A and B are shown apart, each in its own frame.
Chain A
Amino acid sequence: MHDFTRRALLQGGTALAATGALTGPALFEFAKAWAQESPWKPEAGAKLTVMRWKRFVPAEDEAFNAIVAAFKTATGVEMNVFSESFEDVQPKASVAANTGSGLDLAWGLHTLPQLFPTKVLKMNDVADYLGKKYGGWTDAAAKTCKLGNDWLGIPVATNGGYMTYRKSATDKAGFKEFPKDFPSFLEMCKALKANNTPAGFALGHASGDANGWLHWLLWGHGAYTVDQNDKVIINSPETAKALEYCKALSETFIPGTPSWNDSSNNKAYLAGELYCTLNGISIYVAAKTDPTKKELTADTYHALHPVGPVGKPTELQLAVPILAFNFTKYPNAAKAFVAFMLEKENFDKWLDGAQGYLTQTLNAYENAPVWSADPKNAVFAQASKRTLPASGIGTPGEKAATAIADFIVVDMFANYCTGSKDAKGAMAEAERQLKRIYR
């Protein structure tokens, strides 16, 4: 029988707590102790309905379910958790926000809380508590969830997307190291195509992948949708350069990328038809867990995004913030659950379960065991620090979130790369739509 005292557990005094890897009874003991000390006392008879994005890594889901079970047992709060695909979380959260019922908490992506700032429960106290305890929040994470001085949600994690490639193919293409700048990256993709081992990046309505890599290209050329004052500046020589570069790059791709959604590159890579793409770690995790893909697993590596002419990282990584609605009958229970999720004893285990798919937004978790467990995971540890917020240099908020959700940048690049529009036409269309949103 485990004999943990409350104080010992909270101070990380046991070996298990020190590794942050509480499991089974230890996790329940910790949860009980935490509930007694927690600044948020759940309301009597509290019942929380939580919607989250559907897991891509099964072990992450198991870790999350363990946290839910421990919280439920320790606090008596009844929990109803259900999952929706990435694309469906936001519409369903929007319906809940509009009707004022149905959900207490929603865990989605990008700047979800900024879409309906008047409908969310302010999480200032939770953010303050966690930030002070765990070394502060990363810059992009805070910007993603803050409106002025208010926290509209809590940035639970970042789903990092990085270059996933077959080392044998890039070696054969003449690149012993993955390219670090745009010109050499283009040269590598050309060589990959020449060797019949092509790269491919989504140009379809893929919320995560297409928005991710195309914003990186745009920002890498010094172009942005809006400036610091939210003035639309997409129609610029920098954007034109980004379009030209993207077109040259797209000519090296495997056919079909304009139709790709978020799962297409996973399928093509795992089938051995794609040799370089931008994705979360899910491709590697899926290969690792498939005994028939040992060779592919050994040959798969990850790399940071090459840096564009601006000379600094310009990544758009997928934030996954959680929010509580202000019409919840149980605000204390909701806050307690969110705070509990991010406690070290839970979060380390959760990151471990995600195997690199989730990246911490609290600085203290930088050295979580998952990042050193497999050297191929390490790149993903940097996602929250390197990313810009979804608004780029503009103000994060519902306008930026709308622009991302409406695929304005994605369609601009796709229009030009597929020949549907010339550069001027593609930029003009994006400019017009952005001016409408930022009016």
Chain B
Amino acid sequence: MADIAVAPRAKPQFREASAWDQLKHNRNWLGLWFMLPAMGFLIFFLAYPLGLGIWLSFTDTRIGRVGHFVATENYEWLWDDAIFWLSVFNTLLYTFLASAIKFAIGLYLALLLNENMPFKAMLRAMVLIPFIVPTVLSALAFWWIFDSQFSIISWSLKHLGLISQNINFLGDTTWARICVIFANIWRGVPFVAITLLAGLQTVSPSLYEAATLDGATRWQNFRYITYPLLTPIIAVVMTFSVLFTFTDFQLIWAMTRGGPVNATHLMATLSYQRAIIAGQLGEGAAISSAMIPFLLAAIMVSWFGLQRRKWQQGESND
């Protein structure tokens, strides 16, 4: 038998996977690639402005001029600034009162609109009206309504013989605070009401049927079914409501510009006045940065409140 010369089989050419191949095909790296656009977006549009704002607060930057690092000088100045502390007080008062009242009215409206009633769709649409009017327009309307000379409220009360002089709505410090809080409530109630209504609609009617068969009253239905199931959405809604109210600017600026005698200056409006109107960017940034701890606290309360609700993962509450 003739020897058959067997030609040695050519070894398959294996190429070591390059780092680039690994980056292309490794699932973990691929995940990173997909995340990069979102990360870039967040860094560029959210983290960078925040970081820049905080950096500016440690400088003496003025409009149109690069500043120098002044460490905590801006904060030390603000610490002894009576107008700054007045704005902190105003902001907390404004946020607390407006948010609490918006929640109460919003919850009441949501419960009402969740019932079967005639013209339900129309009523739901009407509740949204304050929300669809541009903020500045509604602020101007309130400015007129509460005008010291031309208020429709003063005019009506005078013609009814209930008052003899115009009420000094925006010229008196207490009245001015009440007026801006009222305007904020009017503007913010639809957000709370409609969001809570959406939450209410996710509650299964069978729960109410079962509870009713067991003899539960309407209050017990609310206390033991509606409220617990609505809690997560209340936490989210109130977090957003507090954040929006705390950082409100347009209503105040259009109605009072922080007056009279700074009685309605919020931290946001004071920051704008100092940074943009008066040109002191560093100081304005410090006022804005001073809002961050308050805002973080509001988020944390909501976050940990939600975390504690283990039933969301199928466990009972703590």
Picked from B170, B260, B261, B279, the residue with its CB within 8 Å of the CB of A401 is B279
Give A429's nearest chain B residue, CB to CB: B82
Tell me if B64 and A204 are in contact (CB < 8 A).
Answer: no
Asked whether B124 is an interface residue with its Cβ less than 8 Å from the other chain, the reply is: no
Give B146's nearest chain A residue, CB to CB: A259
Tell me if B260 and A418 are in contact (CB < 8 A).
Answer: yes
The 8 A CB mask of A62-100 against B (1 = contact, 0 = none) is 000000000000000000000000010011001101100
Question: Considering the chains assembled together, what is the distance between the CA atoms of A271 and B62 in angstroms?
Answer: 42
> Quick one: which of A205, A257, A261, A268 has the most chain B CB within 10 A?
A205
The 8 A CB mask of B195-222 against A (1 = contact, 0 = none) is 0000000000000000000000000000
Asked whether B187 is an interface residue with its Cβ less than 8 Å from the other chain, the reply is: no
- Chain B residues closer than 8 Å to A91, beta-carbon distance: 276-277
Q: Which of B54-86 contact A (CB under 8 A)?
A: 62-65, 77, 80-83
The 8 A CB mask of A244-265 against B (1 = contact, 0 = none) is 0000000000111111110010
Tell me if B279 and A115 are in contact (CB < 8 A).
Answer: yes
Question: Considering the chains assembled together, what is the distance between the CA atoms of A420 and B82 in angstroms?
Answer: 12
Give B149's nearest chain A residue, CB to CB: A268
Question: Considering the chains assembled together, what is the distance between the CA atoms of A255 and B165 in angstroms?
Answer: 9
Give A116's nearest chain B residue, CB to CB: B64
- Chain B residues closer than 8 Å to A261, beta-carbon distance: 257
- Chain A residues closer than 8 Å to B81, beta-carbon distance: 432
Tell me if B173 and A205 are in contact (CB < 8 A).
Answer: no
- Chain B residues closer than 8 Å to A329, beta-carbon distance: none
Tell me if A204 and B168 are in contact (CB < 8 A).
Answer: no
Asked whether A414 is an interface residue with its Cβ less than 8 Å from the other chain, the reply is: yes
Q: A256-B148, A258-B260, A259-B260 known; A418 and B173 CB under 8 Å?
A: yes
Q: A204-B260, A398-B62, A406-B273 known; A256 and B166 CB under 8 Å?
A: yes
Question: Considering the chains assembled together, what is the distance between the CA atoms of A204 and B148 in angstroms?
Answer: 12
Tell me if B82 and A203 are in contact (CB < 8 A).
Answer: no
Question: Considering the chains assembled together, what is the distance between the CA atoms of A97 and B165 in angstroms?
Answer: 48
Tell me if A204 and B62 are in contact (CB < 8 A).
Answer: no
> Quick one: which of B77, B148, B168, B176 has the most chain A CB within 10 A?
B148
Task: Count A interface residues, CB 8 Å.
Answer: 43
Picked from B77, B165, B166, B261, the residue with its CB within 8 Å of the CB of A258 is B261
Picked from B147, B277, B281, the residue with its CB within 8 Å of the CB of A406 is B277
Q: How far is the CB of A111 from chain B (nearest CB, A)?
A: 11
- Chain B residues closer than 8 Å to A205, beta-carbon distance: 257-259
Q: How far is the CB of A196 from chain B (nearest CB, A)?
A: 11
Q: Which of B63-111 contact A (CB under 8 A)?
A: 63-65, 77, 80-83
Tell me if B63 and A414 are in contact (CB < 8 A).
Answer: no
Tell me if A254 and B149 are in contact (CB < 8 A).
Answer: yes
Tell me if A204 and B77 are in contact (CB < 8 A).
Answer: no
Q: Which of A90-143 contact B (CB under 8 A)?
A: 90-91, 94-95, 97-98, 115-116, 118-119
Asked whether A267 is an interface residue with its Cβ less than 8 Å from the other chain, the reply is: yes
Q: A271-B150, A406-B278, A436-B77 known; A259 and B259 CB under 8 Å?
A: yes
Asked whether A415 is an interface residue with its Cβ less than 8 Å from the other chain, the reply is: yes
Tell me if B82 and A94 are in contact (CB < 8 A).
Answer: no
Tell me if A256 and B62 are in contact (CB < 8 A).
Answer: no
Q: A94-B64, A97-B64, A436-B77 known; A256 and B261 CB under 8 Å?
A: no
Question: Considering the chains assembled together, what is the distance between the CA atoms of A205 and B258 in angstroms?
Answer: 8
Asked whether A273 is an interface residue with its Cβ less than 8 Å from the other chain, the reply is: yes
- Chain A residues closer than 8 Å to B262, beta-carbon distance: 411
Question: Considering the chains assembled together, what is the distance between the CA atoms of A98 and B62 in angstroms?
Answer: 9
Asked whether B274 is an interface residue with its Cβ less than 8 Å from the other chain, the reply is: yes
Q: A257-B171, A271-B149 known; A115 and B63 CB under 8 Å?
A: yes
Give A268's nearest chain B residue, CB to CB: B149
Q: How far is the CB of B25 from chain A (nearest CB, A)?
A: 44
Asked whether A402 is an interface residue with its Cβ less than 8 Å from the other chain, the reply is: yes
Q: How far is the CB of B162 from chain A (nearest CB, A)?
A: 17
Asked whether B256 is an interface residue with its Cβ less than 8 Å from the other chain, the reply is: yes
The 8 A CB mask of B164-208 against A (1 = contact, 0 = none) is 011011111100100000000000000000000000000000000
The 8 A CB mask of A129-163 against B (1 = contact, 0 = none) is 00000000000000000000000000000000000
Q: Which of B4-32 contact A (CB under 8 A)?
A: none
Can you name 8 extra interface pairs (CB under 8 A) apart from A256-B148, A256-B171, A432-B81? A97-B63, A255-B166, A259-B170, A259-B259, A260-B148, A402-B278, A405-B279, A414-B259
Give me the 8 closest cross-chain CB pairs, A-B, nearest first. A256-B148, A116-B64, A258-B260, A259-B170, A97-B64, A259-B171, A256-B171, A406-B278
In the complex, 21 of the A-B residue pairs with CB atoms within 8 angstroms, ordered by the A residue number, are A91-B276, A94-B63, A94-B64, A94-B279, A115-B64, A118-B64, A255-B165, A255-B168, A258-B171, A258-B172, A259-B168, A259-B169, A260-B171, A273-B149, A401-B279, A402-B278, A406-B277, A406-B278, A411-B261, A414-B260, A436-B77
